Chain A
Amino acid sequence: EVQVVQSGAEVKRPGSTVKMSCNVSGKTFSDHYLHWVRQAPAKGLEWLGLVDPKDGEVLYAEKFKGRVTIRADTSTDRTFMEMISLRLEDTAVYFCATGDVPVPNFWGPGALLTVIS
């Protein structure tokens, strides 16, 4: 059974940095991309980026280039997402997701990031 376990909720100040992690078990970690997606309260899904764990190649949404860094650690089957210069509007639930098909079909439970002044 594939399991995606995320790190816990975070509370941060504007201008600070958050780092979230996600552990995947039950499948070959490097077989498929690892995506990061967020969802602000009562809003839709927003794609942040992905990492290919085979070679570390990353893709980012234009909006997050320069502010988000995603990487994968194949020695621990974990992916990390770091976001700098946090703003109030970054308050959201952050999901990591992977799959056994070309797009994510195994999602973590989400981790709430609250940015509060």
Chain B
Amino acid sequence: QSALTQPASVSGSPGQSITISCTGTNSDVGSYNLVSWYQQHPGKVPKLIIYEATKRPSGVSHRFSGSQSGRTASLTISGLQAEDEADYFCFSYMGSTSSFVFGDGTSVTVL
């Protein structure tokens, strides 16, 4: 079990917005604005969609947005589309161990 807690699954209907949380501690998520989010479709390589809590890499849809409050970071997907069905992982620096860690992942289902 990861030090970063994510819900196992989240679902929504096309066009809706969903939010995935990633909760850590005050020594990782709470201390650094360094949470990233990756999207992974089955059998594919992970794709970076948010870094430094709120920044979107070039080419990533504006439907993906990130936020952070205290020790919880969140990823919001707006205007949910069938292609958003994938696993989503948060990724953070851990100051207590000078290392990085992934959350256990959240499976997003588009109903």
Contacts and interface: CB of A to CB of B under 8 A. Distances in A.
Contacts of A60: 99
Contacts of A103: 34, 36, 48, 51, 91
Given A44-B104, A45-B38, A102 B99 contact: no
Given A101-B48, A103-B48, A109-B45, A45 B89 contact: yes
A107 B46 contact: yes
A102 B34 contact: yes
Interface residues of B, number: 25
Interface string A52-89: 00000001111000000000000000000000000000
B33 to A, nearest CB: 11
B57 A47 contact: no
Nearest to B91: A103
How many residues of A sit at the interface, in one of the four size bands?
20 to 34
B98 A44 contact: no
Interface residues of chain B: helix, strand, loop or mixed (majority): strand
A90 B2 CA distance: 17
A47 B36 CA distance: 13
Nearest to A61: B99
B24 interface: no
B48 A45 contact: no
Contacts of A101: 48, 51, 55, 57
Given A102-B34, A110-B45, A59 B105 contact: no
Interface string A28-58: 0000000101000000111101100000000
B99 A47 contact: yes
Interface string A1-25: 0000000000000000000000000
A105 interface: yes
6 nearest A-B pairs in the assembled complex, by CB-CB distance: A105-B48, A44-B105, A45-B102, A107-B45, A103-B36, A47-B100
